[in-house]
Amino acid sequence: MNSQIKAAVTGVGAYVPDKVLTNADFEKMVDTSDEWITQRTGIKERHVVAESDSTASMSTEAGRRACRAAGIDPSELDLIICGTITPETLCPSSACYIQRDLGATDAAAFDLSAACSGFVYGVSIASRFIEAGQFSKCLIIGAETLTRFTDYDDRGSCILFGDGAGAIVLQPTTDPTKGVQYTVMHADGNGWDYIWLPAGGAKLPASQQTVTDHLHYLKMRGRDVYKFAIEKMQWLLADCMTACNLSADDIDLVVPHQVNIRIIKSAAEKLNFPLEKVYVNIDRYGNTSAASIPIALDEAVRAGRIGDGSMVLLIAFGAGLTWAGAVVRL
Ligand SMILES: CC(C)(COP(=O)(O)OP(=O)(O)OC[C@H]1O[C@@H](n2cnc3c(N)ncnc32)[C@H](O)[C@@H]1OP(=O)(O)O)[C@@H](O)C(=O)NCCC(=O)NCCS
């Protein structure tokens, strides 16, 4: 391992479908209201994939945009990781379709299943490959087509989810002040049923009964997820700051998983961290799981909120249970 080498973010890109589902649309579908959804989650609208699109096609476009921003051709990539829990197919991986469609013929490609933490897990893993000198042009994607696994009869969960994809390119740098400075990853399988998709896997293969029983949709213990998310968000923020000896003044932006505005606010308040340094776009996208951080990162870069030299913290938690953080200087 060459500790002189770090993984620098050289390009960021995202793709979000045009179609929008507003809270008013949900008022016509289930027993809910714009007021309830806004107050409890902060969500106003979310994007829904077009019929002709899916996880791989959204990822391919996000990846193409990230490569363009990095000034490289996708054919130069040597690694593609796609963080997703809504893969194109169970077999092969979404990453292999993306590799084909990007023409990245020399790239190794695999999916990473860590739910909402998938993108940050991917950043951590790709960084280690770069530091070890094994790969030098890595595309890390977070992408979800959650609306195809959402039970629109379940008002407790259906109002939360949206679709989209985001991606970054990581490349080696010898500048020690740049790139991925620190990562942390954890899991606790005891919380397997906080958020899960019961059928379609080896444990419970698809059958007429599983379809009838709505077992191909995400199930969620909302209150338990809420408590877990608040605790882990605080823990991750504190851990990343301590590990890199950072104060709030040293940090330009925290990009948290867009889970719920109340969770984000509560964690920031408890740690006395200024909310204006925490990126929030859940109002426009809902919860897009692994895609939420790279979509937000792309928005923040394009809006000029962060750029060359910015200190950014990425914080995620989700099904598994999983949680992960990364400290990155752009
Ligand atoms: C889902 C979530 C918004 C629910 O908010 P909450 O404050 O915990 O609400 P509760 O689940 O306790 O439900 C409160 C009431 O609202 C009702 N309710 C649930 N969904 C509703 C909806 N869409 N519209 C109106 N009422 C709703 C419940 O039935 C319940 O009614 P009751 O008191 O008569 O039983 C919240 O728990 C949450 O955001 N959890 C995290 C979920 C998440 O992000 N998962 C993905 C993880 S990465």
Which H helix or E strand runs over 60? helix 55-70
For the segment 236-254, the average pLDDT, to the nearest whole number, is 97
Q: Where, residue-wise, is CATH 3.40.47.10 in the chain?
A: 6-177, 180-329
Task: Report CA-CA distances (Å) from 74 to 101, 139, 180.
Answer: 10, 9, 22
Q: Give the separation between CA 43 and CA 217, rounded to whole angstroms.
A: 21
| Average pLDDT score over the chain | 96
Least confident of 57-61, 91-95, 267-271, 313-317: 267-271
Does the C-beta of 116 come closer than 6 Å to ligand 1? yes
Our answer to whether residue 2 is catalytic in this structure is no
Does the C-beta of 40 come closer than 6 Å to ligand 1? yes
Q: Residue 289 corresponds to which tokens in the numbers above?
A: 């799981």
CB atoms closer than 10 angstroms to residue 126: 25
Mutate to test the pocket of ligand 1, among 44, 226, 293 (most ligand atoms within 8 A of CB): 226
Report whether 111 contacts 94 (CB < 8 A): yes
The CATH number of the structural domain formed by 6-177 is 3.40.47.10
Report whether 111 contacts 290 (CB < 8 A): no
* The pLDDT of residue 135: 98
| pLDDT tier for residue 1 given thresholds of 50, 70 and 90 | low
Does 126 have pLDDT greater than 80?
yes
Going along 48-162, which residue ranges are E strands? 79-83, 108-112, 138-145
Our answer to whether residue 281 is catalytic in this structure is no
What is residue 250's three-state secondary structure? helix
Residues 157-169 have pLDDT tens digits of 999 999 999 999 9
Q: Of residues 67, 82, 96, 116, which has the active-site annotation? A: 116
The CATH number of the structural domain formed by 180-329 is 3.40.47.10
Q: How many residues does the chain have?
A: 330
Q: Give the separation between CA 252 and CA 284, rounded to whole angstroms.
A: 22
